[in-house]
Structure formats: structure tokens, C-alpha cells
Structure 1
Amino acid sequence: MAALKGFLATVYLAVVYASLASAAPSQSSVQNFSTRYVHKIGKRNLEVVSYSPAGKFETFEGGLALPSSFVPRSLEEEAITFVQERLQLPKESIAYNNGYTSGDMSFAYLRQQHEGVKFANSVANIAIKDGNVVTFGNSFVKPTTIASSTAAVSLEDAIASAEESLNGKHTGLPSTIEYLVLEDGSAALAHVVYIDGEEATTTYKAFVDAATGTLLSVLNLGSHASYHVLPITKQYPTQGFELLKDPQDLSASPKGWHYTSSGITNSTSGNNVDAYINSSTNLAVQSASGLVFNYKYSSTSAPTTQANQNAVRTNVFYVINSAHDVWYKYGFDEKAYNFQRDNFGKGGLGGDPVFASIQDPLGFTNNAMFTTFPEGMPGLMRMFLWDVTTPMRDGAMENDIVVHEYGHGLTSRLTGGGSASCLGSTEARGLGEGWSDTLAAWFTQGATMNDYELGVWAGGVNIRRYPHTTDAKKNPLRYRNIADSESEHDIGEVWANTLHNVHFKLREKHGYSADARTNPASTGGNTVFLHLLIDSLKIQPCDPTFVNARDAIIQADVNRYKGANKCLLWKAFASRGMGTGAKQSGANYVDSTAVPAGC
């Protein structure tokens, strides 16, 4: 990267400090969607304005070429010099916030400052490609007045004021002192504190005037997140991406997907999962302010392009969080050894989100894996590229593969009470593969239950020998086929197809609940099925056999539904050789189509 100062001094037109006044706030009372948001808070419907000065965004197409004679500097130095020259500002008024380099692109984020105190809402961002500046955005201002940089109100009093105004409770997160540009053009000094709202579903970043102690503004940190992703109800990119707004379920992720004990992230990192490429610090950062991750995926481009990497990190972050929220509502929660950094005092150990390593540096192809450690230690998902097509495809962009892998974490944690050591036998590992296929299929089965194939987009064809189906001609696998299985995946196909038949029969009896993902109290067969599956994992023994797993599901029905589905379940299992007489005899697995008396 080349240094900027001399070039900027000769090329850029001077944009003097006075010109910042043109971006000064308007005192008009007319609502402006681009600069303000009116929060209506709590049962009192308190109105608080959040204001951002109007910004300017410049693009330079191919970039501004920099002479090769310039001596390279750090990204921080070049970014500060750029803003200093571009806006004709004194260097001490510019603070480097953070930045990073990804491939041939570098990104820098800066803030205006006064006497060493940063501005909260007067910011700038620069993108540099191959040493050339390609975009520059800023909302720097020249305040009409600026408050003293020394606070007259104590932090304790500021917290009390925010708690009273918002009828909430301080989170305990670290506080800061920052300047806040107001709509009248002035800059107020503010204590910045984090307050959980009265309904405990929203966390506010509150700005309290450090001179008077009054609440100046808030930011709602729990809303307006948007992700350009493949919805979890779809399997393959060819089925179409959507820009989803606020898909998080606050009853399962009460502080949102981007919450950490250090604050709200603006990247694919949060309480439930970190989704990254190669390194845990190589995350996708929001494409626009307000937690917008709008990255487009191109199947005709290599998966290693920057755009595709941002898209796939976003998709994996979304899919794992979505599955977390659904499974949480069905019982895979803090007490049941789930994966979360912070368990919010609800039981369990915490400190164990999922680390999703995409395009993992192990470098395998046509595969994916999940390593489940005991509760209190993060789960590790490794996603690899698939080379059966040109260009290669990223398995992390196929939702069923992502859910399949995350499903291993669920089954390993729930079986054996969080030890992650109770699916070690070949048969138990085969059950694990079958459960994971089934969990992936559950999300994509709509009102009409269809045959199911796995990995078709990434692998080019169904990566299982047969589709999951109720048609025995399409899939002849039965209990006895465990004996001639060559791998745990082959064993898993027997179990997955059996569960497909169980699911089908439950839906045939109870119908379909379109809201099953958000409403575990719904009565459709898809809801019943997921309850029985997750309930059974909690009660089955360590290293279960197929017969153990079958019995656990039937017992789960007794526990939850008073045995209302007993005969249906037995008949579904018996249709695939797992009736009452099914047993292992030496190396053989003996089929049975018998069901209990009365069925």
C-alpha cells in the first residue's frame, strides 16, 4: 500500500473545514429517515430520537492510482492521512477506530474526536483495493458548539438516570465517554451506558448528558439486523436467496445474535456462533451500519473470492443461529448443555459457542465435520470446499450440510448429559449420522412432505445411496441392512430413512404446523416429531443401539403425549424392520414386523 499524503495534497480539491458545515444538522422538525429514528420505548411509549449527521459517500470506480514511489505505511497511518487531507482537518481531530485487510482489500473505520474524546455519530470509512482508494464515506461535522470534555455528572448518576428513563437495568458492560452530535448542530459530552429494557428483550446503548444527567439518545441494539442468505427452509442456493430482517428469536437469543459480554458485534460473531474463514478473527463485517450483511453469492465465481467469502460467512452465521433458536425452544437450552457464550444465569456452564471454520485450512474436500467437546468448551464445525464442479462449490453455502453438522453437536451433547462422549460406538455413531440428516430435512419439509436428498448442490448428486422416502422401492433399507453397512454413514441411512417414515406418519395423523419453528406448542405432526426426537436424546442411554433409540422415542411419546402415538410409532418402526422382535444376533440384525398387542 502506498503512502497518501503527497498525492492527496496535489490531486484532491481542498474540502475545507467550513465545508463540513454543509453537512451540519438541520433544525427542521420534519422526519428524515436517513438521519434520525424515533424510538418508542416501553409501556409508557417514551419517545427518544436517535440522530446521525448526514453523510457523504464517494466511489472511485477502479480506484485512485497511487504513485509506486511512495513509501508504504500502516493502514492506520494511511487512513488518518487520507481523512486529514481530504477534509482538511487537523490530525488530532481524527481517531482510528479499527480496520482490517482481507485479500486485496483493506477497510478502515475512523471517528472524529475532540481533545482525545471520540464522537459517537461522526464517523468515516475507507476501502482500499490493491493500494488504490475505491470508496470513502464520512459524516464528520463542524459543531455549532461543543461541550467541555470534562464530565460534571458522575457515571453512577448517569447510569441511574438511564435506568429511570428507560425503566430498565444496567447490564454491567463497560461504559465510555463520547461526544454526541445533536440535531441542533451542537456536540454534547455523554456517558455511554448499556441498559436492558423493561421487557428484557432489548438492550439500549444510552447516551446521558455528562453536564446535566438527562437522557439524550439511545440506540436499540437488538433490532434491525438484516442478512442476505438462503432461508433455512431451503437447501440449495439455486432455490433463491432473500434479505431477511431481524430473523433472531429473542425468546431463545434474548440479547440477539450479535451479543457478547464485551458489547454488540458488527460481524459474524456473537453469543451462539463465530463464523469465519481460516482464522477466528477473519469474520464478515456488516456491509452497512445497523447490522446489515448484504453480500451476494455467485455460483459462477470461485468460492474464495471476497464477495463469496462474505456471503458464506453470513449464511453460516444465520443458519447456525436459526437452528439454535429452534432447537432451544424444543429443549436444547442452557440447562440441556447447548452452545452459548453467555447462559444468562439460566444454568449450564456457558463459554461454549460454535466456532464455524469455513474453507477450513485443513484443506480437505467434499466433506464437513463437527467436533463436540464437553459442555463448557466450544464446538468446532469445519466446512470444506467441494471439487466435483467447476468452479468448486462451498459446502457451507448448502444449508442441509450446515444443519447436519450442527446436529452432531445437539445429539452428542444431549446424549449422556453434556459429556459429549456417549456416541462413540459404531452403531451409535451411525445413529448420529441419521439424526443429523433428519434434523436437516426437518427444516426443509413444507406442507407436503417430499422425498429427501442430501448434498445435491455441493456434491452434484445425492451423497446418500437412496433418498429418504416412504417408498420401499426407492429406498429398500431396513434394520437388517445394518449388518452389511460399510460405514457409519451407511448405518445412518437406515436410521434416517426410518425416522423419515415416522415423521411422515405423524404428519399424516396430526397435519402440518406452518409455525412449528417458532411455536413448539403447535400440534402438527412436524412439531410432535421434533419434540419426540429431542426428548428421546435426553433419556436414551450412553452409546445407544437402534433398539434403544426406538424405545426412547416411544417412551418420549408417553412422557409428553401420554402415549397418544404409541401404535403409530410402533407401526412406522415395524415397516422398516424395527418391530418388537428386532434384535442383534451376533453379526446379524434380525428384522421384525411385529407390533404390541392392541396395535
Structure 2
Amino acid sequence: MKISTLASAIIAAVLSLSAVGQNDNIEKISRQLQTVYPDLKASDVIGLYVDASHVSSTSGVEHVYLNQTINGIRIKNSTINAAFNVDNELVNLVGKPIGNIASRAESSQPSISLAQAIESTVAKLGIQGSVSVQQLDGTNYSTVIDAGNYLHETTAELVYWYTNEEELKLVWNFNVDLPDETHWFDFMISAQTGEELERIDWQVSCTHNGSHSHDVNGCNNFEDENTLTTVKRTTLDGSVYNVFPFPVESPNHGSRELLSEPAESIASPFGWHDNDGIPGGDFTITRGNNVHAYEDASDINSGQSADGGDELNFDFPLNISNNPDTYQDAAITNLFYANNVIHDILYAYGFDEASGNFQDNNYGNGGNSNDEVRAEAQDGGGTNNANMATPGDGSNPRMQMYLWNTGTASGSFTVNAPSSIAATYPSSAAATFGPAFPAEGLTGNLILVEDADNPINNGCSEITNPDAVNGNIAILYRGGCSFVEKAIFAQEAGATAMIIINNVLGEDPFTPGGTSDEVTIPSLMVSFEVAEILLDALDEGEEVNVTLEDSDGSTQKDGSFDNGIIVHEYVHGLSNRLTGGGNNSGCLFGDEQMGEGWSDYYAIMLTMDLSVDNPVYRPMGTFASGDPIDGNGIRPVPYDTSFAVNAFTYASVPNQGLTIPHGVGFVWCTMLWDMTWDLIDVYGYDPDLINGTAGNNIALNLVTEGMKLQPCGPGFVDGRDAILLADELLYDGANQCLIWNAFAKRGLGFSADQGSAQSRTDGTAAFDVPPICQEVFVPPTAAFSVSSETVCTGIVEFFDESTDIPQSWFWDFGDGNSSEEQNPIHQYEEQGSYSVSLTVTNTLGEDEILQSNLINYTFPEEPEAFGASGCAGETVELTSSSPDGNQIRWLNADLEQVGLGDSFEATIGSENESYFAQNYSELPLLDFVGPDDNDFGTGGNHGSAFVGTIIFEVFEPITIESALVYSGGVGSRPISLFEGASNEGAPIQTLSVDVDFTGEGRIDLGFVIDEPGIYSMGLDQADLYRNDAGANYPYDIDGVMSIIGSPAGPDFYYYFYDVEVSTNGCVSDLVEVVAEVTGEATFSFEESDLSITFVDESADATSWSWDFGDGNSSDEQNPTHTYQNAGTYMVTLTINDGCSMTMEISVGTNSTSDIGAAKGFAVYPNPSSGMVFLDNQEFGSDRLTLRLHDVSGKEVINRDFVGERIELNLEGLNSGLYFISVSERGENNILFRDKLTIAE
């Protein structure tokens, strides 16, 4: 494969940025990325590939959308968005680059061909046909899928794809538009294995029917109405269109008018029927440079267009009460008109050729051409729906408008029994979900549903009388949940059909709306009054038998006349093209993405009409839902700035009652609507959407420019911040506080946190605004406090306590450093005393406070400490005193804490021993954090290339000592510590840990973290247990460390359980003292009957005093003593008038001192510091006693045993010389005696 072509493309793209002579922009971006993400390697940002760029026609800002590359191949989902202002300053850089790409990327040579990848994929989709491929350059291809009556021509590319496991997989990227037009998938197929790694649906479907509907007001018959209107700056081509003119939203909102030459001359300079850039139309049908509109009732994507003839006269009759096939030309004309108007309006706000708009001919204005909208009227692929499929710039988007079966419907049903109420009653038509009623009708008995929730007859939870409902027709009340949910609960209880009671007194029944493939029973609605007749009979114990039948239903409504929904669908194309750049249509993918919100917003903005009674009150989609124009529409409530009508805020987004994406988008549009009316209050309203400069025009400018500035994969906070930046770039920040107040009103204030844009449940609402936007009445008064005035770590947290609304802060820490944060954390480098000042300012003045010598950064002073000396085995007192009133702690030679206080009692061993005294004001801490074990949620051993980490915050210097892990196998694990929440980039520490166990075990770590901050710890290919559900963050050691999350989201917990953490405390340097051995008395002896020869083995002895235990003594060095009687005696040797040793001996029972070897005993290991073993080969069946004495003669172990081996645990005994002996139990005879040395 040739790679050089892409390398050339990268160079060419860099040069193309020089629209205003900016050849160094890539270098600026690269440098800034490495500044913002210091863990990035230079190789991560070398060869940045410019996927798209343009200069905004409204702001003059140059927007640049880039991908990283590796091995000369671009990483498709590594979108970075940069913006340069008119002075060529980098003013925006969003999107997180991928770190360590060289180590993450698999081979750049594919193992399967593009043709193989496409053939396998389309076969799984049920498409049987041929695939042809032609290479265009190094990594780009053209492809054709030919399945007879299905032909799909597109492009493909070899790219890398960054997976959720943080691996870079080589993939074939191509798209497939399904033959039934239900989906248009963009595929990522592994070029190594053929596995499908990802599919993105470019087609956004919007089901525009609500949970209820009412009588439709203003749904009249529209015949030929010849009101002629014109617009300014038109293109003169003689065209005439009979349409519902903007801002008329739908036939419910106004009448058709005859418009002459409505094309806008800048956006469509050659009119709406041109595509060659030469004056004079090229088409007489509803086709031109911006859109090709046609009917697709047969769902074949190529129906007939309306033809206006050479005069371009698109004046077709319309009687909206007739069947839709009688007015197709009028519908196609309105769809053509609406698409063109939207194109021309959005062009004025910066959605032009260069930014990726929809045009067949871009007239030399940049961008990719050949992508006018294909708009399909009366599409036969479905009902009650509309959709927009948006591939990248240069490929045609497709808009499909369907017919609706919603609204009031004239139906009826028959009561068969009891005879007292037998009659035919009115009802709605069958619901839009579930099957139709059978032609012969469905007969059954009525059963009033009861459920677990109050009120109990709504059917919004599990039905509690299923035995009664089973096999019968369920009747229940409207309200509490969707009609679809009611139907599912009813069918689960065994109902054969469902009757919904309209709970609004005096209101006619309407067709229950909704869509679901799960519903298997038919449904209809009856009025409250009719239901009362049925329920009264049931209350009297009557059996009510009915027959339900399909009615003719209501007249279908044509979505091509609903300008609001046409705008909604068109703007899906706008938001997909502008977010992440025109070539990238896959950036709106998270659960918190706002695509539906933007679509609603532009719909109500382009159909805004201030002549109506209450223009702030805007239901969405009332024509489609069958609501009156002031009804609820297709959203939870109408859009309105009043909380009495619309009380939804950012805090509502996690509500499971709000769907994804429509409910989430509804909240976003609510915020934008509030902001718009705030702008209108200041700047007024202008109905001229092309040339106006009023508040509504400003709002459209801000929102459109904001889409260009936000990152790929945005959430609410990203969108808000992009609009704030757009205001700075477009209006010099004139509306910052207005924007802040509008978002804060709806919970997206200054302190709001969106969490991950992938989740709609982890955001935090806040209703505050930044201090600069708070109203002030007096100058501020400065005040502050600190976490501690005396510190030995140098770390101090400062807390602003100023009053009267300060809007800016300036801290002088007294060491040459400063901060403008409100509540900074500062670390002093040198010990000393520091004065700190805080200056606070608002628009009315400033105030300063100075606290002199406030911070005392000092370590505790070294204590005075004194050792002691004594004989081996003797206890002596070590002493110390604190010079500054703190406390003393004592440590042994292994620096283990052994005591607290001014003195410590040490036992003298056989050698001099060092101890350390330390002055402290705060003791070091040893504690544990994290889940105790992995016994929560679900999980398993995890071994992919994903770098699984725990993310944690450190508040003071710590050492991570160890952690509990669950290993899938033995082997070395390279565990890394990263700075920040990212698990990418270069680690700041890496340890190779030898895991020598399978299953549960503890590993030693030893990560030293000196500074507070956010860190993460983990590894890839871990083969360690990971929980993928049940995590309950945060896990805290108060004031020390908090484990706050994982890179995979709030449910996951990676690898490290029960983490052992130590702190440094606040301590002085160590002062060494010695517990000195002044002498050690030791001896051996040789036995000959009753005569014993004692041999002194003491070092440096100059005098000897023997006590033979029988009343006799000697001052010789090596005396021989004859006992009068056999027996056991305690012999003591005292040397140098101080140190002594006492040993128990048996006289008259053995003839040699080497009794251990004679009797077959062995002690090992010797010396020992842990376990010692005594083998007993000759007396294995005897009852024996083992004794261990120290050098002072004190018995420290006495244990009875039987067997050939005994284990002796020496833990807890001081190091030194000991004597071990074995005798028969209850006897004084010595079977074995030997020296045992306990090592340190």
C-alpha cells in the first residue's frame, strides 16, 4: 500500500490553511496541545491531518478540524477543533488528543481487502450483489455495491479507529445506505480480522406524534389562494410558488400564499432551479442547486418531482381534506420551498459552502459540492415520522417526510351486553402502535385494570388483577405514563385489546399515539362520558361485552406542509456538519448530545411570529400530533420562558422520563429559548432573518457559531461554553452575563458540571453565575482564612471569605508567587514565615487585607535523645525530650514505630542495637481506601490493551504502599502512575510488580506522591479482576486521598482494591541512640558423672562469679565442680560484676555434653529470624517437653509435643542468643540441648 499520497495531502491541507496567510497554524496547535496535555509525546501530534477548515463568514474566525495520524494513516475519531481569530491568534482548542499512539496502533498493513470487508458486511445486512473497488489514492477508494434494483456508490478509506478499550485498530471505513432507507450506516470494519468494530447511523429519525391529541383547530380546506408576496434581494427567474410561507409553521397556523422569486441573491445567486452557475434555470421541476424534492410514495427514492413548466409556475391546487395522493405536487412544492428557504437563511448565519452546507454547485466558494438535499415527500417507508440522513460534505443528505395518521378520528364500537346499555358508541380510530383490529371485529368482556401504583386504574405499572384481565379486554384511564407502556402492561397481563378512557371531562377521544414493535394488542380511546356508562355497569356487577372494530380513521396529514418539522430535520444536517467539521458526520454520539434540541430550536426560531397572542409559548409539532396550535405538541411541555409552563432544568436531564435523544434535546432547546428571549428583551425582534441585527438574529448567530466551536462529542457545558466564546468572537463579549443568566436559570450555571458527555446521569446542575455577572451595590470587603497557619509540608489551602460580591481576586503569598483563583492551594518551597495579602475587586471598587507572618512553614526540631547500656537480656530506658513542645516517637533500626513518649524501654540483645527518636506534631498515617474486595456488582479478569486505572485525588504527600488484587495468572505487571485523570501520555512513575499468585493476593507498590492533585494508577493487559458494575465512588480517607472514578465511567472499578496508603506526617529528622551491650555472660559445660567442668565463653570478661545452684560458688574462669547428688541445678555465671547467665543443667544422667547428636535431634535453620524446626528421629513416639531460655536464664517458651518434628515460631522474640533443650515430659533428664541464635 502506498502511504505517500496521504502525506502529501497532509502537507497540502496545512498549506490550505493559509487563506489569510497562516502557514504556521499547525505548529501553533501542536505546541498548544503539548502545553495543555504535557503527557503527550511529540510523535502524538506530528503529522496532524486537516480534515476540514473554513473561515466563518459571520465572525471571520478560521475553524480548523484536525485528526492525528500514525503510520501515515489518519485516526478517524481523534477530532481536534481549533479556531484562530482575525489576528491569527489561537482562541479555541477543544477535543482531547490520544496519547501514546505509536504503542497503541496495530500494524498498518491490512490482512483483508476492502472488497472482502464490504462483501461480508452487506451480506450480513441481507444485500446480495457485487462489490467493485477502485483506489483513488493511498488510503482512499471509490466503491459500488450493485444488487440489481439497489445501487450504492460511495467512498471508503483505510483509517485507524480508537476503540473503547483504548486500542488503535486498523479499519476499513465505508458506508451503506440500506435499500429500505431505514438506516444509513457508517461502518468501521477491522482490516485485520473483518470484525465489525463500530457502526454509526447517519439517519436521525424523529417520530413526531405525541402521547395525546385533541381536536385540530384551523385545519381548513386550502384551495387556490393567490396572495402574492415578495422578499428583498431576490433572484429574477420568474418563479412562483404557492406555499405556506415562513414564518407560517403549518396549515394549522396560516394559509398558503403565492410567492414570486423568493430565492435570496447571496445564498442562491442563480435562483433555486440552477446548478451550473449560469443565469437561467436548469430545471423546470422542483430541483436545483440546494435541493431536489420529489414524492416517494412507493419508497424507491426516485419518484416524480412537481413540474412548474418553463414559467416555473408551481401553483398547484390543495384540498387538505382529500387523500394525500390528490395533492402531491402541492406537497412537493412546499417541501422544495421550505428546504430552499432554510438553506438561504442558514447561509446568512455562516452555514455556507466552505463550512459544509448542502449544494450541488459550490460556485467556487470552497467546501465539497454535489451534495444538495434529496427531499422525499409522502415517503412510503413509514408513517408518523420524518428523518434526515447526513453523510459528510460532498455526499447527498436525504430528508424523508412521511404521512401522519394522528389527530381526532371518527370511530365507533358496539356494546353487546348488558342489554340495558347495548348500543353503538363513538371512539377513536385504532392506535398508531400495535396491530389493527381484525376485519370481523374483536369481541370480549371488559375488565377494569388494577395496578400497583396510585391511582390504581391507570395501568402504569404491573397489573395486580391479571387473572381477571387474562383473555379479556382491558379498560383503563389515560395519564401517568405513555399509551405504549399501558399497552405493554395490559398485554403482559393477558389482555386481548385495550380501551383507554380520556380522563378529561368533555373532551372527545383521539387516536392514541406512539410507536413500538413490542405491542401486540390493538387499542383505542373512548370519552370520559362513554366510559362512565361502561364502568357503572361493571360496578353493578354486570358483564360488559363489546365488539371493537377498525374505523376509517382520520384524514392523513402530510408532513411536507409542516415547515417546523422540515426545519427540524434540516437542522440535523446543520448540527452534524458543523460539529467536528463538514467532513465528520459522527460527532453527535453521546447520551447528552443536543442534536434534537438544536433541531427544535431552529424550528421555532424560523417560524417565530410576534403577531400571535403569546409568541413565547411554543409547542412543537402540533400539526403532526393533532394538537391545537396552543396544545402540548410532541414534547413533554411547550417551550416557554415561564416555569409555570416549562419547569425543566439541567437537573431534569437524568430523569428517566425524558427520552434519549428527544427529551435531552428538549431541555437544551429550553435553555436556548430562554436566552433568545433575553436577547430580544435587550435588542428587540426583527422578522428579517437574512439581514436583521435584533435579538433573534444575534441568538441565531451565537448558536450557529457555537456549533463550530464546540468539541466533537459535546455535552451541555461544552455547548454553553461554545456559545459564550461565540459571543466574544462575534460581539466582543457584550452578552456574556445575559448568556450566563439564561443558562443559570435552567441549571447550567457557573458551577454546573456535565461529567461525561457519554452519560446523561452524571451531570451536576447549578444555578449560579460567575461573580462578574452578579449585581453589586458596594465595593467588596476582603477577608480570608487558611487551612493551617503552621505547616510542615509547605501546602496551604486559602479560603476567600470576602463579602459584598468580589468579582476578581489577587493573592500575594509572600514568597514571590501569586494567584487569581478564588480559593487557591499554594505550596511553599522554603521554610520560613510568610505574610499573605488578598486584594478583591468588583465594579465599584477594591479592598485589600494583609495578614502579617501568617504562615509558619517549619519542620519540628530534632529532639535531644539519650541511649543506655546494659547486659544482654536486660531492659534499659532510652529517653528524649521535644524542644518545641511536640511529641516524641521511637523507631527501631528498620524504621518501624515501636513506641511513643519521652522514654522507651529497650531489651538489650547480644549486640548493640540502634533506635531513633523523632519529634512530631502530626503522626504519619497508615490507612486503607477503596472497596474492601471485589464482592460487588459484576466483573471478571480484564486483559485488553485498554489502560484500566483508578482516578484519585491526593490532598497531601502520600505513599501508595500496596493493594489487593485478583490475578488471572502469575507474571510481572508494569503498573504506572499518571498525572491527571488521563490514562494516556507518559507515566510519571512505573513499577514492575511480580505477581506470584493466582486469585486473591496483595502486591507491594511504593508509589511516592509528593504534591496534591489528580492522579491515576493502572496498566494495560492486566489480567486482573475488574468490576464493570456496582462501583460507588468516591472512596475516601478524609483529607488524605479520594478515589473518584475510572476512565470507563462511574460503574467500573479497575484492579486495585483495599489500597494501603501512608502519609509522611509532620516529623523532624531522626536522632539515633544506641542500646549498648556492656557484656554478655555465656558458658558451656562438660559432664562426667557428678563432676561438671564449666567453660566460660564470654567476651571481654575480666572477673567471674559462679553459682552452681547447690550452695557452692567459684571465682575461677573455668571451674570444675562435683555435685553430691544427681539432679537438676540452676547454674549462674556473673561476669564483670554485672552481666549474668543462668542455665538449667541435669547432673548424673548423661555421659557426654553432645547429647543432641547422640539422640538424633537437629535444629534448623540456625541462626533463624522466623520459623525454626526441631527434628526428632529417635523419640518420635515419646511425650516430650521443649524449653527455650534466654541468656538470663528466663524461660521464654515451654511446649509439650509428640512427633518427629515440631515447628517453633520465633516471632516477637528479641534477637540474640538462646538455649533450647528437650526432656521427657515430667522428667528432669535432658535428651537434647543446643544454642539457638535469633537473627535480626
What TM-score comes out, normalization by structure 1 length?
Answer: 0.60
Offset at residue 287 of structure 1 (A):
4.3
Aligned residue in 1 for 2:739: 569
The alpha-carbon distance between structure 1 residues 486 and 444, as it changes in their structure 2 partners (threshold 3 A), is: closer
Letter of the structure 2 residue corresponding to residue 478 of structure 1: T
Aligned residue in 2 for 1:223: 237
Aligned residue in 2 for 1:480: 651
Contact 2:568/2:600 (<8 A) preserved: yes
What is the DSSP-based 3-state SS (H/G/I as helix, E as strand, rest coil) of the residue aligned with 1:259? coil
Q: Summarize the alignment of residues 438-517 of structure 1 with structure 2, pairs less than 5 Å apart.
A: 438-447=601-610, 449-461=615-627, 462-484=633-655, 485-515=658-688, 517=689
What is the DSSP-based 3-state SS (H/G/I as helix, E as strand, rest coil) of the residue aligned with 1:275? strand
Aligned residue in 1 for 2:270: 255
Aligned residue in 1 for 2:557: 393
Moved more, 442-451 or 387-396: 442-451
2: distance between equivalents of 1:424 and 1:248? 35
What is the DSSP-based 3-state SS (H/G/I as helix, E as strand, rest coil) of the residue aligned with 2:288? coil
Work out which structure has the larger RCO, using CA pairs closer than 8 Å and 6 or more positions apart in sequence. 1
Offset at residue 518 of structure 1 (A):
2.2
Contact 1:481/1:589 (<8 A) preserved: no
2: distance between equivalents of 1:281 and 1:269? 13
The alpha-carbon distance between structure 1 residues 570 and 593, as it changes in their structure 2 partners (threshold 3 A), is: same
2: distance between equivalents of 1:496 and 1:575? 13
2:575 paired residue among 387, 411, 415? 411
What is the DSSP-based 3-state SS (H/G/I as helix, E as strand, rest coil) of the residue aligned with 1:506? helix
Letter of the structure 2 residue corresponding to residue 366 of structure 1: N
Letter of the structure 2 residue corresponding to residue 260 of structure 1: N
Aligned residue in 2 for 1:422: 587
Aligned residue in 1 for 2:286: 268
What is the DSSP-based 3-state SS (H/G/I as helix, E as strand, rest coil) of the residue aligned with 2:321? coil
Moved more, 431-440 or 385-394: 385-394
Letter of the structure 2 residue corresponding to residue 375 of structure 1: D
2: distance between equivalents of 1:223 and 1:574? 49
1:374 paired residue among 392, 401, 417? 392
What is the DSSP-based 3-state SS (H/G/I as helix, E as strand, rest coil) of the residue aligned with 2:592? helix
2: distance between equivalents of 1:297 and 1:475? 36
Contact 1:452/1:468 (<8 A) preserved: yes
Aligned residue in 1 for 2:763: 589
Aligned residue in 2 for 1:321: 340
1:301 aligns with 2:322: yes
Aligned residue in 2 for 1:290: 311
What TM-score comes out, normalization by structure 2 length?
Answer: 0.30
1: distance between equivalents of 2:592 and 2:392? 21
1:518 aligns with 2:690: yes
Give the structure with the higher percent helix.
1
Offset at residue 487 of structure 1 (A):
2.1
2: distance between equivalents of 1:595 and 1:573? 9
Letter of the structure 2 residue corresponding to residue 274 of structure 1: H
Letter of the structure 2 residue corresponding to residue 225 of structure 1: S
2: distance between equivalents of 1:329 and 1:435? 17
2: distance between equivalents of 1:296 and 1:434? 35
Identical pairs, percent:
40
Q: Give per-residue Cα distances to partners, 1:561-594, cap 9 Å, x unaligned.
A: 0100000000000000010111145834322111
2: distance between equivalents of 1:471 and 1:544? 27
Letter of the structure 2 residue corresponding to residue 518 of structure 1: I
1: distance between equivalents of 2:591 and 2:317? 41
Contact 1:283/1:313 (<8 A) preserved: no
Q: Summarize the alignment of residues 346-357 of structure 1 with structure 2, pairs less than 5 Å apart.
A: 346-357=365-376
What is the DSSP-based 3-state SS (H/G/I as helix, E as strand, rest coil) of the residue aligned with 2:771? coil
2: distance between equivalents of 1:509 and 1:329? 22
The alpha-carbon distance between structure 1 residues 265 and 470, as it changes in their structure 2 partners (threshold 3 A), is: same
Contact 1:201/1:255 (<8 A) preserved: no
What is the DSSP-based 3-state SS (H/G/I as helix, E as strand, rest coil) of the residue aligned with 2:336? helix
The alpha-carbon distance between structure 1 residues 457 and 343, as it changes in their structure 2 partners (threshold 3 A), is: same
Q: Give per-residue Cα distances to partners, 1:48-89, cap 9 Å, x unaligned.
A: xxxxxxxxxxxxxxxxxxxxxxxxxxxxxxxxxxxxxxxxxx
Contact 1:437/1:454 (<8 A) preserved: yes
Offset at residue 274 of structure 1 (A):
0.7
1:361 paired residue among 349, 359, 380? 380
2: distance between equivalents of 1:508 and 1:574? 17
Contact 2:579/2:587 (<8 A) preserved: yes
What is the DSSP-based 3-state SS (H/G/I as helix, E as strand, rest coil) of the residue aligned with 2:398? strand
Letter of the structure 2 residue corresponding to residue 270 of structure 1: G
Aligned residue in 1 for 2:699: 529
Offset at residue 446 of structure 1 (A):
2.8
Contact 1:541/1:548 (<8 A) preserved: yes
1:337 aligns with 2:351: no
1: distance between equivalents of 2:325 and 2:750? 52
Contact 2:285/2:309 (<8 A) preserved: no
Moved more, 571-580 or 416-425: 416-425
Contact 1:248/1:322 (<8 A) preserved: yes
Offset at residue 254 of structure 1 (A):
1.1
Aligned residue in 1 for 2:260: 245
Contact 2:306/2:332 (<8 A) preserved: no
2: distance between equivalents of 1:231 and 1:557? 31
What is the DSSP-based 3-state SS (H/G/I as helix, E as strand, rest coil) of the residue aligned with 2:375? strand
Contact 1:274/1:280 (<8 A) preserved: no
Letter of the structure 1 residue corresponding to residue 769 of structure 2: V
Find the structure with the greater CA-based Rg: 2
Offset at residue 297 of structure 1 (A):
2.2
1: distance between equivalents of 2:711 and 2:308? 47
Q: Give per-residue Cα distances to partners, 1:236-273, cap 9 Å, x unaligned.
A: 11311000001100110111100123961000111000
Contact 1:480/1:588 (<8 A) preserved: no
2: distance between equivalents of 1:470 and 1:567? 18
* RMSD of aligned alpha carbons: 1.8
Offset at residue 523 of structure 1 (A):
2.4
Offset at residue 281 of structure 1 (A):
4.6
Offset at residue 288 of structure 1 (A):
5.2
- Alignment coverage as a number of residue pairs: 373
Contact 1:266/1:286 (<8 A) preserved: yes
Letter of the structure 1 residue corresponding to residue 241 of structure 2: Y
Contact 1:415/1:538 (<8 A) preserved: yes
Offset at residue 304 of structure 1 (A):
2.1
Q: Give per-residue Cα distances to partners, 1:508-543, cap 9 Å, x unaligned.
A: 01111232x220xx3210110010011001111001
2: distance between equivalents of 1:480 and 1:201? 46
Letter of the structure 2 residue corresponding to residue 451 of structure 1: Y
2: distance between equivalents of 1:561 and 1:313? 40
Offset at residue 280 of structure 1 (A):
5.2
1:435 paired residue among 598, 612, 628? 598
2: distance between equivalents of 1:568 and 1:248? 35
The alpha-carbon distance between structure 1 residues 232 and 514, as it changes in their structure 2 partners (threshold 3 A), is: closer
1: distance between equivalents of 2:259 and 2:331? 15
1:549 aligns with 2:719: yes
2: distance between equivalents of 1:249 and 1:283? 26
Q: Give per-residue Cα distances to partners, 1:84-134, cap 9 Å, x unaligned.
A: xxxxxxxxxxxxxxxxxxxxxxxxxxxxxxxxxxxxxxxxxxxxxxxxxxx
